[in-house]
Structure 1
C-alpha cells in the first residue's frame, strides 16, 4: 500500500512566484527518486493573507518516504527555499478515508463511488463485529460497549478492510486507467 504525505508550507508575502517556480522545478526532479510515485501541488487562493502551499507526495513504502526526506536532493531544496518560507514545513501522513481513495496516477473517484465503496467495507465489518463482540460485551454499559466496538471497527477498516476493498474495486473506482 502506498504511503501518502501532506506537507504545508507558509510562503513569505511577495515570494510566491519565486517559490512556485522553484517548487515546480524541484517537483519534476524529485520524481526520479526511487520509490516516489507522485507529487501534487496545491496553490493558495489568490490574495490569501498568509499564502500556504500544499504538497501531496506518494511513496511506495515508508522506507522510500524516509529516504527521500533524508536525501541530499531534499535537504538542498530546503536550504534553497529557506529565505522564501516562514518556519518549518508541516508534515502529515495521510491515513484512513483521506488516503483510501488516493492514487498517484489517477483522479479521485466521484464521492458517490467513495461512499458506496466505504459502505461495502463498513456493512460487513459492522455485522461481523456485532456478532463476535456484542455478545462478549453485553454486561458492560451500552456506551462503553459501543466505544469498544467502534474502536475495533476503525482499526479493522483502516488497516484491513478498506485497503482490501479499494484494491478489489480499483477498476470500478478508477475506470480511466
Structure 2
C-alpha cells in the first residue's frame, strides 16, 4: 500500500479538487481491528482543512474482505497536507499490518472528480472527449442562463466583481449540483462497459 501511495507524486500540479479511491483486502482475522483503525484514520482526516467527506463500502461477501474507501478534498494542496502528515503515516503503518497486499490507490483531479459514480468498483474516468463534450454542453447552457437571468441583475457591481461572482456561481453549480446529477443521467454513455458488466 505504501508503494502505491507514492504514485500520487505523479499527480497534476493544479490546485484542484481531488477524489481519493482506495481498495484494500483485509486479512480475515483482522477485520475488527481494521474497522477500528480505519475509523480512527477517517476521524483524523476529517480534522484537516479541505476534507469534504468520506464513503466506506464494506464487503458484501464475507469470503472476500475487500473494503473500498473514497474521500474528497477541496484542493490538492490540502490533500497534500494530510498525505504528508505524521498522523497519517502512523495510521498507515497500522493498516499495512492488517491487509493482504498493497491494495489499489487512485487520486483523481480536475474534471475527473466531476465524473465519479457511487459504486463499489474502482473509479475509471470516461474518455476525455466524452468529458469535454458533456462539460462543454453544460457550460453552454449555464452561460446562457447567467446572461439572461443573473448578469443583468449585477449591473450595479464593477465588472471584475460581477465576473468573479458569476464564475464562482458556475463552478459551485457544476461541482455540487449539476455534474453529480448529469453524470448519473448520462452514466450509460459515459461508462458503457461498467453498465454492461452490472447487467
Q: Mapping of 1:1-177 within 5 angstroms?
A: 1-49=16-64, 51-94=65-108, 99-100=113-114, 121=135, 123=137, 167-168=173-174, 170-171=176-177
Provide the aligned C-alpha RMSD in A: 3.5
The superposition leaves residues 19-74 of structure 1 with CA deviations (integer Å, 9 ceiling, x where unpaired) of 0122112212220012222222111113233x221111111211222221111111
Partners of 2:172 and 2:133 in 1: how far apart?
12
TM-superposed deviation, 1:174: 7.7
The number of equivalent residue pairs is 123
Q: 2:24, 2:67 within 8 Å by CA — same for their partners in 1? A: yes
TM-score, structure 1 length as denominator?
Answer: 0.55
Partners of 2:175 and 2:100 in 1: how far apart?
42
Partners of 2:138 and 2:91 in 1: how far apart?
47
> Unpaired segments of 5 or more residues in structure 2?
1-15, 118-131, 140-169, 182-199
SS at match of 2:63: coil
Q: 2:18, 2:110 within 8 Å by CA — same for their partners in 1? A: no
Distance 1:65 1:96, change over 3 A: closer
> Unpaired segments of 5 or more residues in structure 1?
104-117, 126-163
